[in-house]
Chains A and B, each alone.
Chain A
Amino acid sequence: MPLLTVSDLTVEFPTRRGTLRALDRVSFAIEAGEILGVVGESGAGKSLTGAAIIGLLEQPGRIAGGEIHLDGQRIDHLPAERLRRIRGKQIGTIFQDPLTTLNPLYTIGRQLIETMQTHLRLSDAAARGRAIEWLEQVGIPAAARRVDAYPHEFSGGMRQRVVVALALCAEPRLVIADEPTTALDVSVQAQIITLLKRLTRDHGTAVMLVTHDMGVIAETADRVAVMYAGRIAEIGPVLHVIKHPAHPYTEGLMGSIPPIEHRVERLRQIDGAMPRLNAIPPGCAFNPRCPKAFARCFTERPDLLPAGTTEAACWLPATLEAPVHRAGDVNNA
């Protein structure tokens, strides 16, 4: 059984001008020890998915439908206090900016010790020893001395290492990492990615890695979910999604990334922009920008369907497999 199962998760924001549906029937699962990447452009709903899972949706956002199960237990409708305990013990979080995660007034060691003692039975001495071990594991030199340092005494990359230690020290089953390397330079980014990957493998932790950087996903994740306008457009093993995307949006997204290996004359571009939440078209949300859209795409919303080795929310692969029934629709495109 998967460690985390999200099924038909729908998040809405009631506003004066009507309800905005920011996540629309999002479903996926993460196995223990697996890294699921979540990519998409700003506003696609990737961070919101993470926030909904840990129960930290910003007001007035609310879960309007669907279920979230962690380790067999349904967590989306729990009272705040019980959810808080589960969140602290079973779910670790890593955010983009280490300075907002770390308390500037407490030493690094105190923050680690407090987190561990809240969730694990440890004596003061044992917790301190464990804190130093964690700092060593994330590659902080002279950990025994630096355990008593304050966050401002660390550089940006070091702080993000501490945040990784802080997220993992209570031995959570699931880590939600929201743009963990976006604020870092590439050389430091590579260090953090390697670290995150190694530690989660060692501890069998499941990871939901939210980022807009496809390169980071390719290096790190086992599977990837591509989000568009609050829905999952495609989900599958990371190499298959990159090399053989089934959804036209994924295809366009991959084509618009400048390759580093060689030079291309022109980048593929998807014209237009992602629709605003109050103007999502009926049918498939991508239909106004899709070069391959046909009649059915404008009326009926596709669910995730098997397409080759991935699953895509697109009528096209299903149509191509059964050309007899759908030939007329294709001609209308």
Chain B
Amino acid sequence: MLEAIDVSHQFDVSPPFLQRLLARGGSRQSLVAVDGVSFAIPRGATLSLVGESGCGKSTVARLAVGLYTPSAGQIRFEGQPLRAARAQPYLRRRMNMIFQDPYASLNPRWRVRDIIAEPLRGFHIVRTAVELRERVAMLLSQVGLAPADGDKYPHEFSGGQRQRISIARALSSEPDFLVCDEPTSALDVSVQAQILNLMRDLQLRLGLTYLFISHNLAVVRHMSDRLGVMYLGRIVELGAAEAIFDTPRHPYTRLLLDAIPDLENPGRSRTPVGGEVPSPIDPPPGCPFHPRCPLANARCRVEKPGYTRAGDQMVACHAVEEGRSAQ
């Protein structure tokens, strides 16, 4: 359904023109947020991207719905280049996005029914006012709210209810592809469970395809069919979610899985890995993970690893390729 082929995205983070001029020799700087990312999401499946802050997962989400244009590479939706697909209303309405913060993503001055009706009007999906009202009521009940809630304003709702409104709005144009950027990160766990269950139900009922972005591995495991682990703009491991959770291959994936506090087995010993994610403005040469990697050697410090197939996963790691990673 959606395919990304070797997509990169750079941000210009140069100092302003005048400062560059005054500093003399101050040159343009760019930040490679996404670096040669490829993946494909089959229809009706969920691909999750997981990683720590600054790894480029939200940038991929925005690239996937066309909010950013890739600096290199191509994104294809239903076999067509994304830009061409988005130029056609009947394809554009088939993709939508759910954002992280339900406080920032709903217009506080609009009634809920207008928020949900906007895409219906914009895409001329309904013709009459009666039809519009029925549609909004249907969408509200689909996400577990009452049709009468349409008369209220967003501030009258709790965080979880607002996220339901966001979902109703995202569903109003009858999309089959939804990009969800950290949809539950701003919510408490019990509310998160409600929203995750709702998203699963809707996926089964409406046959939705999700690109799911999260930093929470437990949530990702719950939601995904396929999984990509990102580190400093690169997907370091990509494959079936269950396979990655059962036999993580990339040292970074292992580190991540190891670092999560475990409710069922809290006393277990962990291998502490030091260090932090380096700045993407000045990434380390070679494999970006080598400064923190327990398996790094001379090759890792100079040569960027390509993808190796390991089991059902694609892994970008020299150690895995050379069979140095004990598993």
A residues with CB within 8 A of B: 41-42, 139, 155-158, 185-191, 193-194, 212-216, 218-219, 238-239, 242, 252-261, 263-264, 266-271, 273
Given contacts A218-B263, A261-B265, A269-B197, 11 further A-B contacts (CB under 8 A): A41-B189, A41-B191, A42-B188, A190-B259, A212-B188, A219-B266, A242-B263, A255-B193, A260-B262, A264-B222, A273-B161
Q: Knowing A190-B270, A267-B197 touch, does A218 contact B262 (C-beta < 8 A)?
A: yes
Closest to B242 in A: A263
From B52, B158, B200, A186 is in contact (CB under 8 Å) with: B52
Q: Knowing A187-B259, A268-B193 touch, does A261 contact B276 (C-beta < 8 A)?
A: no
A287 CB to nearest B CB, Å: 16
B46 CB to nearest A CB, Å: 12
What total of A-B pairs shows CB separation below 8 Å? 118
The dominant DSSP class at the B interface is: helix
The answer, yes or no, to whether B301 is at the interface (CB within 8 Å) is no
A276–B32 CA distance with the chains assembled, in angstroms: 45
A252–B189 CA distance with the chains assembled, in angstroms: 10
Closest to A256 in B: B193
The answer to whether B221 touches A258 (Cβ under 8 A) is yes
Q: Knowing A42-B188, A155-B276 touch, does A271 contact B194 (C-beta < 8 A)?
A: yes
Closest to A215 in B: B261
Which residues does chain B contribute within 8 Å of A254, judged by CB atoms?
A: 263
Q: Which of B193, B196, B263 counts the most chain A CB atoms within 10 A?
A: B263
B82 CB to nearest A CB, Å: 30
The answer, yes or no, to whether B219 is at the interface (CB within 8 Å) is yes
Q: Knowing A190-B270, A215-B262, A219-B266 touch, does A185 contact B215 (C-beta < 8 A)?
A: yes
Which residues does chain B contribute within 8 Å of A194, judged by CB atoms?
A: 270, 272
Closest to B196 in A: A267
A232–B240 CA distance with the chains assembled, in angstroms: 42
The answer to whether A259 touches B188 (Cβ under 8 A) is no
Q: Which of A189, A193, A252, A258 counts the most chain B CB atoms within 10 A?
A: A258
B69-108: CB near A (< 8 Å → 1, else 0) gives: 0000000000000000000000000000000000000000
From B218, B256, B258, B272, A257 is in contact (CB under 8 Å) with: B218
B141 CB to nearest A CB, Å: 15
The answer to whether B274 touches A191 (Cβ under 8 A) is yes
From A156, A188, A216, A269, B190 is in contact (CB under 8 Å) with: A269
The answer to whether B193 touches A267 (Cβ under 8 A) is yes
Which residues does chain A contribute within 8 Å of B191, judged by CB atoms?
A: 41, 273
A98 CB to nearest B CB, Å: 13
A261–B222 CA distance with the chains assembled, in angstroms: 10
The answer, yes or no, to whether B264 is at the interface (CB within 8 Å) is yes
B10 CB to nearest A CB, Å: 23
The answer to whether A269 touches B193 (Cβ under 8 A) is yes
Which residues does chain B contribute within 8 Å of A239, judged by CB atoms?
A: 266
Which residues does chain A contribute within 8 Å of B274, judged by CB atoms?
A: 139, 191
Which residues does chain A contribute within 8 Å of B200, judged by CB atoms?
A: 266
The answer to whether A253 touches B190 (Cβ under 8 A) is yes
The answer, yes or no, to whether B260 is at the interface (CB within 8 Å) is yes
What is the total number of residues of chain B having a CB less than 8 Å from a CB of chain A? 42
Q: Which of A186, A213, A214 counts the most chain B CB atoms within 10 A?
A: A186
A151 CB to nearest B CB, Å: 15
The answer to whether A215 touches B260 (Cβ under 8 A) is yes
The answer, yes or no, to whether B160 is at the interface (CB within 8 Å) is yes
A270–B191 CA distance with the chains assembled, in angstroms: 8
Which residues does chain A contribute within 8 Å of B219, judged by CB atoms?
A: 258
From A218, A219, A253, A264, B189 is in contact (CB under 8 Å) with: A253
A310–B260 CA distance with the chains assembled, in angstroms: 26
The answer to whether B272 touches A191 (Cβ under 8 A) is yes
The answer, yes or no, to whether B40 is at the interface (CB within 8 Å) is no
Q: Which of A187, A194, A218, A256 counts the most chain B CB atoms within 10 A?
A: A187
From B222, B266, B270, B273, A218 is in contact (CB under 8 Å) with: B266
Which residues does chain B contribute within 8 Å of A156, judged by CB atoms?
A: 276
Q: Which of B158, B190, B257 counts the most chain A CB atoms within 10 A?
A: B190
Which residues does chain B contribute within 8 Å of A139, judged by CB atoms?
A: 274
Sample (9) of A-B pairs whose CB atoms are under 8 Å apart: A41-B191, A158-B276, A186-B259, A191-B272, A219-B261, A252-B190, A260-B260, A270-B193, A273-B161
Q: Which of A155, A191, A193, A267 counts the most chain B CB atoms within 10 A?
A: A267
The answer, yes or no, to whether B142 is at the interface (CB within 8 Å) is no
The answer to whether A214 touches B52 (Cβ under 8 A) is no
A320–B65 CA distance with the chains assembled, in angstroms: 55
A257–B217 CA distance with the chains assembled, in angstroms: 12
Which residues does chain A contribute within 8 Å of B263, judged by CB atoms?
A: 214-215, 218, 242, 254, 257, 259-260
Which residues does chain B contribute within 8 Å of A238, judged by CB atoms?
A: 266
Which residues does chain B contribute within 8 Å of A41, judged by CB atoms?
A: 188-191
Closest to B292 in A: A187
The answer, yes or no, to whether B192 is at the interface (CB within 8 Å) is yes
The answer, yes or no, to whether B255 is at the interface (CB within 8 Å) is yes
Q: Knowing A185-B52, A215-B263 touch, does A260 contact B221 (C-beta < 8 A)?
A: yes
